[in-house]
Amino acid sequence: MTENRTQADATPIVRLRAVSKVYGTYTAIASLDLDILNGEFITFLGPSGSGKTTTLMMLAGFEAPTSGSIEMDGQRIERLPAHKRNIGVVFQNYALFPHMTVRENLSFPLKVRGVARDEITRRVGAALEQVHLGAMGDRRPIQLSGGQQQRVALARAIIFKPKLIVLDEPLGALDKNLREHLQTELKALHRDLGTTMVFVTHDQSEALMLSDRVAVFNKGRIEQIGSPSELYRAPATPFVASFIGENNMLDGEIVGREAGDVVVRFAGGATLRAPSQDWCQTAARVSFNLRPESLRLATDAAKPGCQRVSARVLDTVYLGDQNRVVLEADGIGRLMLKADAENGRALAPGDVVQVEMTVASGRVLTRANNET
Ligand code: ADP
Ligand code: MG
């Protein structure tokens, strides 16, 4: 996986401290601390109902926090109305003004800010070019496709040169091809403008593709925040491990140590090793994680640093460029493996194979306070 280019410097532009949001008796956001770095593209990723929109609304000024503080450029903003926060906003269905042309829609945020007419004309022209809608200025929203409307919404959010742009599932209503196209455009726009962007999605591949950093939301909390590759390679919790990418997750118990590794035993009696971590201690109940692509079918002698298990093929799924092989590993349980198409195709249910993996590719996660 290639790391996304980071233009962020380490200075936070926004600081949320102990921010909570309670609706009646329901705590939507518990106590959230977050720094948003100047210039970064940061994504809130999480399942529906995990608190992404609520957090974004508090940042943009459409919801007031129940408690806690929000600072932007060192100023407390949590009680400022939205239009005084200098934040551009794009929503999934952010209604453009239907009776106005595209040009009028884009002029509006500049007019309310008292920008001179010549300057408005110039900036509207530039914004239309930036979102590739140069010829569409005189149309009304209803005469545009969904993707074009979202481009206008984006142009309207950037046109007053806000310090921060927040986008709540802006591509969620678009079909896959268009969505991927606009992801690429959004990334290019972020590179060109250098403006800090806060993006919300429940789609992990969209988050990985776009972001410098991703904050993974679960039940009103941020479970982990990091670069896409940090989250993929070193998930901190079983939730993050299961939400980002595919994972074999096996319940086991640490039964010993060997050098820098821990030995984990599964209910079926077999053991596997993985690198130890600070918190690891004997008798700890763990989730043992193996990415499907880190497993391979062994055809030759065992390699140093590798471990093997014997397994029975339950099913194979042909996917063109690869095969997914579902296995029952002796004394361990269900494993899913990605094999290259030729390698996996010869297999049939019932076949017995040797599965090999490096010790380094295993990752143990604590189950102590996270039984999801
Ligand atoms: P997400 O954007 O991650 O899907 P939301 O931030 O919209 O999640 O919602 C988080 C939780 O807060 C959900 O359980 C939702 O039902 C609840 N919630 C959001 N807005 C309100 C509201 N105005 N009144 C009551 N509950 C709300
Ligand atoms: Mg939402």
CATH number at residue 123: 3.40.50.300
Residue 86 tokens, joined? 């200098």
DSSP code for 269: S
Same domain? For 207 and 182 the reply is: yes
180 within domain boundaries? yes
**Cα-to-centroid distance, 51 and ligand 1 (Å):** 6
Pocket test for ligand 1, best of 19, 20, 22, 23 (most atoms within 8 A of CB): 23
Same domain? For 258 and 231 the reply is: no
Q: Identify the domain boundary among 241, 263, 293.
A: 241
Same domain? For 198 and 258 the reply is: no
For ligand 1, atom 5: residue with the closest CA: 51
Exposure string over 282-297, b if 16+ CB within 10 A, otherwise e: eebebbbbbbbebbbb
232 within domain boundaries? yes
CB atoms within 10 A of CB 260: 11
1 within domain boundaries? no
Same domain? For 232 and 298 the reply is: no
* Ligand 1 pocket check for 224: Cβ under 6 Å: no
Choose among 196, 192, 193, 170: nearest CA to 183: 170
Give the atom of ligand 1 at the shortest distance from the alpha carbon of 169. Answer: 2
CB atoms within 10 A of CB 109: 19
**Given this model, what pLDDT does residue 172 score?**
87
2 within domain boundaries? no
**Given this model, what pLDDT does residue 20 score?**
98
Q: Rounded distance, CA 216 to CA 199, Å?
A: 12
Same domain? For 251 and 354 the reply is: yes
**Given this model, what pLDDT does residue 1 score?**
41
**Given this model, what pLDDT does residue 93 score?**
74
Residue 260, domain CATH? 2.40.50.100
What is the pLDDT tens value at each position of the chain, 372 positions in all? 445 555 567 789 999 999 999 999 999 999 999 999 999 999 999 999 999 999 999 999 999 999 999 999 999 999 999 989 999 999 887 679 999 999 999 999 999 989 999 999 999 999 999 899 999 999 999 999 988 999 999 999 999 999 999 999 999 888 888 899 999 999 999 999 999 999 999 999 999 999 999 999 999 999 999 999 999 999 999 999 999 989 999 999 999 998 899 999 999 999 999 999 999 999 999 999 999 999 999 888 778 889 999 999 999 988 888 889 999 999 999 999 998 766 666 788 999 999 999 999 999 999 855 444
Give the atom of ligand 1 at the shortest distance from the alpha carbon of 50. Answer: 3
Give the count of domains, the chain: 2
Same domain? For 253 and 232 the reply is: no
Q: Identify the domain boundary among 206, 241, 276.
A: 241
Phi, psi (deg, nearest 5) at residue 371: -100, 20
Given a contact cutoff of 8 angstroms between Cβ atoms, the answer to whether 134 and 110 are in contact is no
Same domain? For 256 and 328 the reply is: yes
Residue 279 is part of which domain span? 246-366
Same domain? For 261 and 317 the reply is: yes
Cβ neighbours of residue 103 closer than 8 Å, sequence gap 6 or more: 124, 128, 137, 138
Give the atom of ligand 1 at the shortest distance from the alpha carbon of 217. Answer: 3
4 within domain boundaries? no
Same domain? For 258 and 236 the reply is: no
The DSSP bridge partners found for residue 354 are: 310
**Given this model, what pLDDT does residue 95 score?**
76
**Given this model, what pLDDT does residue 185 score?**
92
Name the residue type at position 189: L
Q: Which helix (H) or strand (E) holds 87?
A: strand 87-91
Given a contact cutoff of 8 angstroms between Cβ atoms, the answer to whether 192 and 165 are in contact is no
Extended strands (E) in 119-206? 164-168, 196-201
* Ligand 1 pocket check for 28: Cβ under 6 Å: yes
188 within domain boundaries? yes
Helix axes 102-111, 117-130, angle to 10 degrees: 130
Q: Identify the domain boundary among 184, 212, 241.
A: 241
Same domain? For 252 and 283 the reply is: yes
Given a contact cutoff of 8 angstroms between Cβ atoms, the answer to whether 250 and 332 are in contact is yes
Same domain? For 212 and 234 the reply is: yes
288 within domain boundaries? yes
Q: What angle do CA 8, 11, 15 make, to 5 degrees?
A: 110
296 within domain boundaries? yes
Choose among 248, 162, 235: nearest CA to 204: 235
Same domain? For 197 and 156 the reply is: yes
Give the distance from CA 334 to its chain's centroid. Answer: 27
Residue 371 tokens, joined? 């039984």
